Each structure stands twice: as structure tokens, then as C-alpha cells.
């Protein structure tokens, strides 16, 4: 069954809660309260899972957690490169949680020779010219794009020519790549506007 994007997003948040939860059972009311959403919404979302561990006293924390992991594929191993070893790239490289959710950052790339050769959280920074070779060698097809906006378009073309198939784009440049490469725009500004729009900040 195809799970709607919003449900995937919320299930991930439920997982964050379960990850820190110290009791054996948790109620949908507790989850709803922590996220400031409707109890009925939580119960509806959890119905997408095969075995939610629901019982008289609530959901079994361990079972529910495993059900989310299994449904959303947290144990699937996906390797990625970070392109751009500036602040944002380094922050994402240090985001240890990624690995728990199936995303394994294998290396970073930059064109700044001062950054090349450094390691960030155990990930080596290579010169971008090494990308085509390492895409093949390390069998990586996901790139996380964190270069400055002015270089984004050119870098994306280079990624595609190097064999990258999926680009998680953190820049505000809309990338014009061919159809067989998938781009996911991480739209921070759009998210902020949603937030302020709904709350009339």
C-alpha cells in the first residue's frame, strides 16, 4: 500500500518519540499530545502498519517502533555522497541519526583545495574531480547537494554525467536535469512559509 507523504512524515516523528520513550507502552493520546495533533490522526496513521503492537494498555513501544522501521525501510541501506563541504554539508555529515534511518554518508566532495583531504565525522572530503571514479567504485547513486546556489546548476550537470541518479537538493536553484535523474528539493523556505502561514506569525 502506498503511504501518503504526510503519513510517512508523521510516522517518522512517532519513531523519534518512541526512540526516547522509557515506558513499555504508549497511548495514541500521548503521541498526539507531544505533536499537538489529533488523537484520531495518530490512530489512523498507525493503521498503515502491519503489526502496530496495539493492546489494551496502548501500543507496545518496541513493536510499534519496529513496525515503523520495517514499513519505512530504515534498515534498507542507502549510500550517499555530500557535494559541498561547507557548513551545511558538514552539518549533514555530522547528523549521526541519518545512519539509524538507513542513510549512509560515504564521503564528501568539494572543489576548495583547503577542504580536500579533511575528514568530517569520519567522512573524507575528496576533490570533485574524483567523483566519477568514486561513484563507480563505491556504488553510490544518491548525491546530497549543498553547494552555493551559483554553482548548483553546473554541479548538478556534473553529478548526472558522473552517474548519480538521485539528487537531494538543498540549494534554492531548480535543477534542470534529464528525466531519468530524480531531484528532491529540500525546500526550507517553503517549510518556513507553511509554518508562518498556518500560524499567522
Do 153 and 123 form a contact (C-beta atoms < 8 A)?
no
- Minimum CB–partner distance for residue 29 and a second copy (Å): 14
Q: Which three cell numbers stand for residue 180?
A: 531519468
142 binds a second copy (CB under 8 A): yes
- Minimum CB–partner distance for residue 32 and a second copy (Å): 12
108 binds a second copy (CB under 8 A): no
Among 32, 98, 132, 151, binds a second copy (CB under 8 A): 98
Picking from 78, 29, 76, 26, the residue whose alpha carbon sits closest to that of residue 52 is 26
C-alpha to C-alpha distance for 2 and 4, rounded to whole angstroms: 6
Residue 88, classed as helix, strand or coil, is helix
Q: By CB under 8 A, how many residues form the interface with a second copy?
A: 61
3-state secondary structure 98-130: HHHCCEEEEEEEECCCCCCCCEECCEEEEEHHH
C-beta atoms surrounding 42 within 10 Å: 23
Taking contact as CB under 8 A, which single stretch among the options 38-46, 59-67, 109-117, 181-189 is the one that binds a second copy? 181-189
| Geometric angle at alpha carbon 132, from 126 and 137, rounded to 5° | 85
3 binds a second copy (CB under 8 A): yes
35 binds a second copy (CB under 8 A): yes
Taking contact as CB under 8 A, which single stretch among the options 43-51, 59-67, 101-109, 132-140 is the one that binds a second copy? 101-109
Sort strands 54-55 and 58-60 into parallel, antiparallel or unpaired. antiparallel
- Minimum CB–partner distance for residue 5 and a second copy (Å): 5
Taking contact as CB under 8 A, which single stretch among the options 45-53, 106-114, 122-130, 188-196 is the one that binds a second copy? 188-196
Residues interacting with a second copy, by CB under 8 A?
A: 3, 5, 8-13, 16-17, 20, 34-36, 72-74, 76, 78, 86-88, 90-91, 94-95, 97-98, 101-103, 141-142, 146, 149, 166, 168, 172-174, 176, 179, 182-199, 201
Amino acid at each position: 500500500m502506498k503511504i501518503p507523504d504526510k503519513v510517512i512524515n508523521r510516522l517518522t516523528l512517532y519513531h523519534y518519540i518512541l526512540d526516547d520513550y522509557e515506558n513499555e507502552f504508549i497511548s495514541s493520546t500521548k503521541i498526539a499530545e507531544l505533536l499537538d495533533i489529533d488523537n484520531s490522526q495518530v490512530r489512523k496513521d498507525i493503521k498503515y502498519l502491519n503489526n502496530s503492537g496495539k493492546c489494551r494498555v496502548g501500543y507496545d513501544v518496541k513493536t510499534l517502533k519496529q513496525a515503523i522501521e520495517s514499513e519505512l525501510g530504515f534498515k534498507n541501506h542507502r549510500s550517499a555522497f555530500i557535494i559541498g563541504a561547507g557548513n551545511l554539508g558538514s552539518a549533514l555529515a555530522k547528523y549521526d541519526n541519518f545512519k539509524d534511518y538507513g542513510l549512509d554518508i560515504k564521503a564528501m566532495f568539494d572543489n576548495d583545495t583547503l577542504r580536500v583531504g579533511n575528514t568530517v565525522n569520519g567522512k573524507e572530503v575528496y576533490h570533485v574531480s574524483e567523483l566519477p571514479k568514486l561513484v563507480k567504485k563505491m556504488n553510490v547513486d544518491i548525491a546530497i547537494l549543498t553547494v552555493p546556489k551559483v554553482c548548483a546548476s553546473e554541479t548538478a550537470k556534473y553529478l548526472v554525467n558522473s552517474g548519480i541518479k538521485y539528487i537531494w537538493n538543498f540549494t534554492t536553484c531548480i535543477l534542470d536535469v534529464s528525466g531519468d535523474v530524480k531531484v528532491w528539493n529540500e525546500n526550507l523556505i517553503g517549510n518556513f512559509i507553511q509554518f508562518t502561514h498556518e500560524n499567522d506569525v
